[in-house]
Amino acid sequence: MDFIEGETVYFDKPLSWTSFDLVNKFRYKLSRKLKIKKIKVGHAGTLDPMATGVMIICTGKATKRIEEFQYQTKEYVATLMLGATTPSFDLETDIDATYPVAHITEDLVVETLKSFTGEIRQVPPVYSACKIDGKRAYELARKGKEPQLKEKTLVIDEIELMAYEMPIIKIRVVCSKGTYIRALARDIGEALSSGAHLTGLVRTRVGDVTLDKCMLPDEIDDFLENVT
């Protein structure tokens, strides 16, 4: 493999790691392997620290393909807790409000999910990397400010209920670039006349790249040792 000319490698990002943590780890180990100080390394599609799953990392001239990968369809498996919300829409922040759930049936969830297929409008989370006047929204949110984010149009190709164990549900989502599954959880909670936040998120596919094709950070050394 020629990492300077350009290669793509697939990772299963661990829980609590940022996307940049993973890029930095691979860049450091790759630089030592190649015995060079600098090499271009980037990722195709950010994953939140509270999410795990498929992350494509590109090196060298292959970084020009990042946008191509970002536009490929993505699949997620998300675990939602109904009846409670958090400011970040996931476990990064504490529960700030609770709502009734006694009226929520499995049939109601199934019917509600159907309304989220196709082209939808979504307001990104305030705890996101969206930029407002040159600053990341999450930087403003963590300072106690309330950034106003604009709606975006996106496409949900498929959404299905995988498990229903109130107040927990698990869903599978196939969607376009720019979809925030945390925001989708928020909107599903509201559509159910309740609240919701993510308690788990796994990106299971990006284009044709599935989890079974991905390595963990602990496997980087062995991977680099065996590549030619």
- The catalytic residues are 48
Cα(181)–Cα(91) distance, integer angstroms: 13
Q: 86-108: buried (b, 16+ CB within 10 Å) or exposed (e) per residue?
A: bbbbbbbeeeeeebebeebeeee
Peptide bond into 167 cis (omega under 30): yes
Instruction: Give the DSSP H or E segment for 184.
Output: helix 181-191
Cα(59)–Cα(7) distance, integer angstroms: 5
* Helices and strands counted in the chain (H then E): 6, 13
Q: Rounded to a whole number, what is the distance in angstroms from the first to the last CA of the chain?
A: 6
Within 10 angstroms of residue 48's Cβ, the number of other Cβ atoms is 24
Separation in Å, CA 30 to CA 24, 57, 110, 160, 205: 10, 12, 46, 40, 25
Cα(97)–Cα(85) distance, integer angstroms: 6
Q: Name residue 173's beta-bridge partners.
A: 76, 159
